Structure 1
Amino acid sequence: MRPDTPAENVDHTAEAARLERTAGRYPEDAEALLLQAAAHLELADDRPAATALYDRLLATPDTLENAPLVRALKASNLWEYDHEAEARAIIDGIRAAAPRDPAPWVIVAESLESHDELEAAHDTFTQAATLLLTDVAEPPYATRPVLFGRHRVRRMLGLPHDDWDARADTLHSSPISLDELHDPKRVWSLGSDNPQELEAEISRLRAELGTYREALSRPFPVAVLHWPAEELTELLSAYPDLTTEYPSHPEHLATIETSLRELSTSGTGNLGIVTGTVPSYEAFAASEGSSPSDTALLPQYATTLAARGRAVAWPPQRTSECWCGVGTVYVECHGGANA
């Protein structure tokens, strides 16, 4: 499915079947593709079939890249069709395992929240924030839903602002503040006879909808293509016309960082890096009926890899290993001030 396809025009069952077939063709990407297929089945209200896909993935735990994410999605789905006890057991297991990826935390906390388990949702968001963000100067983009979700639940519970809420306010970029977006009284305004209250609420909803539209219009990261040194050497040896695009490996790495910084400065979020391999690129070129020497094919290849779930979020934390793979921490490598 194209990322700009309106949701109401999608046959979710057919799209799920297509993704399952694609997973068979690309077993190395099966996890991401089957998760997308399960999401379409949930949208088609075929929740038992979605659970079957989650179970299919969990049946081979040694090959899963993110087992906690699959378990979290399964728990959320189970609760939606009256399997509350099993969902709760999975959620408890995820919290006990304390994964380092924020996505499972957000999914299970929002599942608790959606079923009016606000105290449990708050505890889950707080546990995630403490685990993932304590002593982290710059919260990674992927952790923002943890802080925003916690802020929302605390507003629903009537709790005062704390340091985590202040950090959420700092990260929030919408013209409508988080306090307004998460105000429990907002729903009352929708039933008001006061035109000013209704107009104010419409403005808030438009701001919130704008954020959702931005996310929905780009379900996978804006990704820049990265070639490891060995792969780039092989690529240029086989297709020397690409030398104009890649004069040297150091220049290639510097261009990646510069491009991503420019995109970030322009306000583009959800950025990532995809790593190419020559066999994969050649197969993609063949599928497009084009020559690997065609430079116009490179961004299309990057987008395809991102759509298949191969993107790594950028930027990494300053003290995490740099995306370039040399083993140096990001702040001392391409994340330095003069990079």
Structure 2
Amino acid sequence: MPTTNVLTSADLTELRQSALGAANPLGIAAELAEAADQGRLADPTDTGYALTLAAEIAESRAKLDAALRYADRAVDAYRTQDDSTGAFARALRARILFRVGRDDEAIDELTALRPLLTEQGDAAAYVSAALDAGGRSSTAEQWLTTAVETIMADRAASTDQPKEPKDADSAGVLFFLLQQRHRVRRDLALPHDQNDNLADRLESGLTGNTGRTVTEPTATDLLFWPRDDFDRLRSDWPALGETYGRDWDEHRARLERELTRLAGGGRTGLTVLRGSLDGLVGFAPQRGGDPTDPKIRAAYAQELTTGSSQIPWPPERNDACWCGSGNKYKKCCLPRSRG
């Protein structure tokens, strides 16, 4: 990344998609912080965004002291700007606080964000992810359940809409709450209840517009390992070849076929989750397991869904392939969908 150029909002978005796969992501985090310090952001209101990205990068590399410093600064920047979009930065800060053992502060921060669960669609994802990181999945389930019940009660009290929405569009924020609640309950091995069934019906309606139901993937299904990470993973844990592929070509082909299948069923906004072996190895002990445990890998993949590791799919045919090979998409992973 250039060290003296002004960074635009588009530059920051591009870095969000690529930074974790860079040769020196921590250097990028430091550069982002310096750009904020030196006034090298084309839009000064991007200060909180740049520092949040720096915090995410540092956290992914288990540099928690640096991550917390960046997160503190990001929260301060949003507060100075009176910017209500800083909620994700606060949730990220809470997640880091959990990881450094400051649980009470983390809970206080998330409790302050809790009202957003009934107001903002993405709040269910970042609040529950932070609670998951602190080993508080049961609390996440309770908060999400209460938020669902609140919205359902409001709908029932309304004279112009039914209590249960018939599709995801009419559900609004409730749809995202139901999705995250469903995920948390599945991770906790809780039995299906009527709201889990409603989540299934809404998801089927969203993905089955072509006349056939498309199975909703788990985050693990879209977890991608860059080549160096894949080779190390296969070397350290050969048995994972059954899960991710015998070689990197097969690994990419599996992902491309799954993404193509989902797109054919009407899914939009698809992304690949770029994993990091160092990130997984650092994450596993926090959950009391190791990288070979499917539940650990699933939790790690789920955490990536709320961070900067998402690669938009598909790229344009003549653009660089999503896998990072440097080749054009049309000559790299696009043909693998036909294998």
TM-score range, shorter chain: 0.3 to 0.5
Larger radius of gyration: 1
Structure with larger RCO (C-alpha < 8 A, sep 6+): 2
TM-score by length of 1: 0.39
TM-score by length of 2: 0.39
